[in-house]
Amino acid sequence: MASQPYLNSENNISSFEDIDPSLTYSYAHYLTWLFDERVELIKGQIFKMSPAPSPYHQQISVHLASLLFNFLKRKSCKVYTAPFDVRFPKESKADKDIYTVLQPDICVICNLTKVDNRGCIGAPDIVVEILSPGNNKTELLNKYSVYEEFGVKEYWVVSPAEKTFLKYTLDEKGKYQPSKLFTLSEKIYSDVLPGFVLDLDEVFED
């Protein structure tokens, strides 16, 4: 990795414009930033998140989270919604050694020892990303790579514009296998949550 800036008064960062793209940043740096913009950290590089989601994006998020929440009542897994930091440590869990921090739209976590007062440390069992016009291809590819590398068992990609749903499932070799592209009137099942049925008509109900 590139050399890291030290956390001292000479390197205080108060706006996104102060970021040096040639440097590698950690979660320790992330905690000191007071940006107006929401950002994510992917392998030490900073990505500005999309502007505030549209009402329809938020509606889909609420529908999905509600369906998951109702199913998970009195079960060991819990659902969390953005803004919710998920840190992905490689070896050390020290703030200065974590270089990837993402804010999925929704995540399901079954090992609740991963949850602390700052979010989640380690891979959730399910991550849901709801696409928006601000998402770019590089960002999506980077997130796919992170979720696969760190062992997120299922990665759900929801497109409000196309009203489609794509599920990636981690195989025994640690690689994602894509489902077919689902759309309205279809139902989704999850290997992580036996018995859970997701009706896409409910998800995309306007």
* pLDDT tens figures, 149-162: 999 999 999 999 99
Distance CA 92, CA 103 (A): 20
pLDDT at residue 138 in the model = 75
Which residues of the chain register pLDDT less than 50?
Answer: 1-10
pLDDT at residue 11 in the model = 55
Q: What residue type is 4 in one-letter code?
A: Q
This model's pTM is above 0.85 = yes
CB-based contact 95:26 (threshold 8 Å): yes
CB-based contact 4:24 (threshold 8 Å): yes
Question: Quick one: tokens of 70?
Answer: 């109702």
Q: CA of 147: how far to CAs of 14, 44, 133, in Å?
A: 29, 16, 21
Contacts of 202 (CB under 8 A, 6+ apart): 63, 67
pLDDT at residue 37 in the model = 77
pLDDT at residue 70 in the model = 97
Backbone angles phi, psi at 43, to 5 degrees: 55, 45
pLDDT at residue 177 in the model = 97
